[in-house]
Amino acid sequence: MARSRFFYHLLALAVVAVWGVTFVCTKVLIQAGLQPAEIFAIRFLLAYAGIWFFCLGSRENRRILSRNWKDELVFLFLGVTGGSFYFLTENTALAYTQATNAAFLVSSTPVLTALLTLLVRRFGRSRFARSLEAVRLSPVFIAGTLLALTGMALVVFDGAHFAFSLRGDLLAVGAALCWACYSLFMGRMTEEYGTMLATRKVFFYGLLTIIPFLLASGHGINPEIFRQSTVWLNLLFLGLVASLACFVIWNLVMARLGNVTCTNYVYLNPVFTLFTAAIFLGERLTPLAAIGSAAILLGVILAGQR
């Protein structure tokens, strides 16, 4: 049992390492001329096509509708919070702020997840509330939460780039909130419907709910963009590795380890982003943003001790 849990911890670490690199990949695609909604649509379309390949081998995984309309609405909610809205806010944030800034702010997700879990377990009565991890509001948890929130404020209101990045930093916080909401329900749905089917439905509703944003943008994709090998390489990495493979693994790990324990690994996102952004984008953190980033990391680690 201990070896099995250790294996799932390693899987969670591997997924977060990949997701840390995606901030840089997305930034590269935005600089190449793709819009945030377009990047998400292509990324999830690749993942959705890929997951059907694995679902065809099982009759249960091929089913279209859930067992009841309430579960179908839950999958719609998961497609929005873990798909369209999450990636739209995250990708749009990268158009206005540095990849490292966005990664550090999104790393506040464990704190938000723990707080929401605490509230849902305290006041909720559904099967989702009962399946969440137990979170105790200890002094260490409170101190870690406040420290992380202070760090977020330092990064968001960094005077060195206040006018330029405020919108992007706030969007990154919105992405963290979306993923925290996703974490409340996905573990239970994975247990009840299986990893492949549950993940496939998230991809479907993510694609469905991004369509209005694509139509509203009125921005046509320039075919010349796809002549660049870096564009295709980054899209394939985002679609097949970071979305298809990582979503399947993450949803499985979350069902095995619990939503709070699993999400705590997200605080390592900026560590991997920091290295890749420095190598490929030449980014650097200002002193105030560096202090804020360190406060976020320390805060979520303390809060994760529960």
Residue 1 has pLDDT above 60, yes or no: no
Comparing 4-8, 184-188, 289-293, which segment has the lowest mean pLDDT? 289-293
Nearest residue to 175 (alpha-carbon basis) of 183, 186, 163: 183
Residue 86 has pLDDT above 70, yes or no: yes
* pLDDT tens column, 27-81: 889 888 888 888 999 999 999 999 999 898 888 888 999 999 999 999 999 999 9
Task: Give the pLDDT score at 199.
Answer: 95
Q: How far apart are CA 204 and CA 76, in angstroms?
A: 9
Reference 277, options 15, 27, 30, 36; nearest CA is: 27
Q: At how many degrees (to 10) do helices 229-236 and 2-32 cross?
A: 150
Q: In the prediction, which pLDDT does 114 show?
A: 85
- What is the mean predicted confidence (pLDDT) over 19-30? 86
pLDDT value at position 164? 47
**Do 133 and 261 meet the contact criterion of CB atoms below 8 Å apart?**
yes
Confidence band (pLDDT; 50, 70, 90) for 21? Answer: confident
Give the residue among 44, 70, 48, 83 at the shortest CA–CA distance from 238: 44
**How confident is the prediction for the chain on average, in pLDDT?**
84
**Residue 162: its pLDDT value, please?**
43
In the prediction, which pLDDT does 165 show?
66
What pLDDT was estimated at residue 291? 82
Q: What is the CA radius of gyration of the chain?
A: 19
Q: According to the per-residue pLDDT averaged within each range, which of 1-5, 139-143, 194-198, 288-292 is highest?
A: 194-198
| pLDDT given for residue 163 in this prediction | 41
Q: pLDDT by residue (tens digit) across 185-217?
A: 998 999 999 999 999 999 999 999 999 988 887
Global pTM value: 0.83
- Please say if the pLDDT value at position 161 is more than 50: no
**Alpha carbons 174 and 78: distance in angstroms, whole number:** 15
